[in-house]
Amino acid sequence: AQVQHKAHLKQLADCHYASVLKRCAFCSLSEHASRQQRQRDAHASAYKFSSKKRLFHSWMVWLHRCDHRDEIRMLPQTRRARGHHGRVLLKKSVSFWKRFVLYRRDKRSKREVADYHFEKVALPRYFEAFKECVSIGRYKKELGCVAVNFRRETLLSMAFYHWWRASHFSQDMRMWKRMAILHSEEKVKRKSMTLWRKKTKVAAKTSQMEYLAVHQYERNLLSCSLGKWSLAARLRMESTRQAERALNHCNNRLVRKALDAWKLVSPMHPHTYMYLHIPPLPIHVHPSTCIYLHTYLRT
pLDDT tens digit string along 109-147? 888 888 888 788 877 887 787 788 788 878 888 887 888
Contacts of 292 (CB under 8 A, 6+ apart): 252, 255
273: pLDDT strictly greater than 50: no
Contact 259, 278 (CB under 8 A): no
Tell me what percent of the residues of the chain surpass a pLDDT of 90. 1
Among 285, 275, 299, CA closest to 254 = 285
| Separation between Cα atoms, residue 287 and residue 37, nearest integer Å | 106
Query: Is the model more confident about 255 or about 205?
Result: 205
Phi, psi of 19 (to 5 degrees): -65, -45
Q: What is the pLDDT of residue 26?
A: 78
Interval 142-160: pLDDT, tens: 887 888 888 888 888 888 8
Residues 75-113: tens digit of each pLDDT: 567 667 777 887 888 888 888 888 888 988 888 888 888
Name the maximum alpha-carbon separation found in the chain.
187
The pLDDT of 185-189, averaged and rounded, is 89
Give Cα separations from 211 to 145, 201, 206, 223, 225 (angstroms): 93, 15, 8, 18, 21
Reported as a pLDDT band with limits 50, 70 and 90, residue 25 is confident
pLDDT given at position 224: 87
8 Å CB contact between 260 and 222: no
DSSP-derived secondary structure letter, 282: P
pLDDT value for 65: 65
Q: How confident is the model at residue 280 (pLDDT cuts 50, 70, 90)?
A: very low
The C-alpha atoms of residue 183 and residue 187 are separated, in whole angstroms, by 6
Count of positions (residues) in the chain: 299
Q: Residues 244-260: what's their mean pLDDT?
A: 83
Q: Over the chain, what is the mean pLDDT?
A: 78
pLDDT of residue 20: 78
Q: Is the pLDDT of residue 178 over 80?
A: yes
Q: How far apart are CA 274 and CA 229, in angstroms?
A: 51
Among 43-57, 59-73, 274-288, name the one with the lowest average pLDDT.
274-288
Q: Contact, 284 vs 251, CB < 8 A? A: no
Neighbours of 292 (CB within 10 A): 16
User: What Rg do the C-alpha atoms of the chain give, in angstroms?
Assistant: 69
User: 205 to each of 202, 214, 260, how far by Cα in Å?
Assistant: 5, 14, 81
The predicted structure's pLDDT at residue 121: 81
Point out the least confidently predicted range of 92-96, 168-172, 218-222, 267-271.
267-271
Q: Pick from 185, 193, 184, 291: which is nearest to 248 by CA?
A: 291
pLDDT for the residue 222:
87
Residue 55 pLDDT exceeds 60:
yes
